[in-house]
Structure 1
Amino acid sequence: MAQSHVPRTGAVFLDPRGEDRSLRVTWHQESQLVVLSLWRDNVCAGTFRLSADEVPDLIALLRTGLDQAYDAARERVERLDRPQQAG
């Protein structure tokens, strides 16, 4: 009988569109992998295996995107906060 390895580290992210969509991220230390899986209605629709040595590149990409989003939001708020100049 095959033994199933249940990951100890992981997270579930819910999709704001609803319909029971989610992204599950699990670490598989024994394989040095992170598995990203897309779920809908408690059925796995697909998986992607990312080797542990590629995780820093993914994190850097996500961090860059987040920094850019924060910068854009800050610029919008600053524009709204500036008094309108008479033309």
Structure 2
Amino acid sequence: MATARPLPASGEIFLDARGADRALRVSWHYDTDMVVLSLWRENVCTGSFRLTVDEVPELIDLLRTGLDTAYAVARTRRHNVS
């Protein structure tokens, strides 16, 4: 697997809840109309997935729906505990 390269100008790194040695890198590649999601363990890429820019809105919608549901569940839990 490839070793770490600098993140493109537009991207972000998210640390895994299981530990700082695992991370998800999200990087935009405007020259190829792609977004690359890559999994990292320490400084080594262990896998990647490429999305076309046309697929990104569907992913965002899925994440937004999941987040809305998670907040609703948390509110219900707090309400039931009170």
Tell me if TM exceeds 0.5: yes
Question: Which ranges of 4 or more aligned residues in structure 1 deviate by more than 4 Å?
Answer: none
Deviation at 1:32, TM superposition (A): 0.5
Counterpart CA distance in 1 for 2:19 and 2:8 is 25
Return the index of the structure with the highest Cα Rg: 1
TM-score, length of structure 2 as denominator length: 0.88
TM-score, length of structure 1 as denominator length: 0.83
In structure 1, the partner of 2:10 is 9
Higher helix share: 1
Structure with more relative contact order (C-alpha pairs < 8 Å, separation 6 or more): 2
* Gap regions ≥5 residues in structure 2: 1-6
Corresponding pairs, count: 76
RMSD: 1.1
In structure 1, the partner of 2:76 is 75
- Give the percent of matched residue pairs that are identical in Structure 1 and Structure 2: 61
In structure 2, the partner of 1:60 is 61
- Is the aligned partner of 1:45 residue 2:46? yes
* Gap regions ≥5 residues in structure 1: 1-5, 82-87
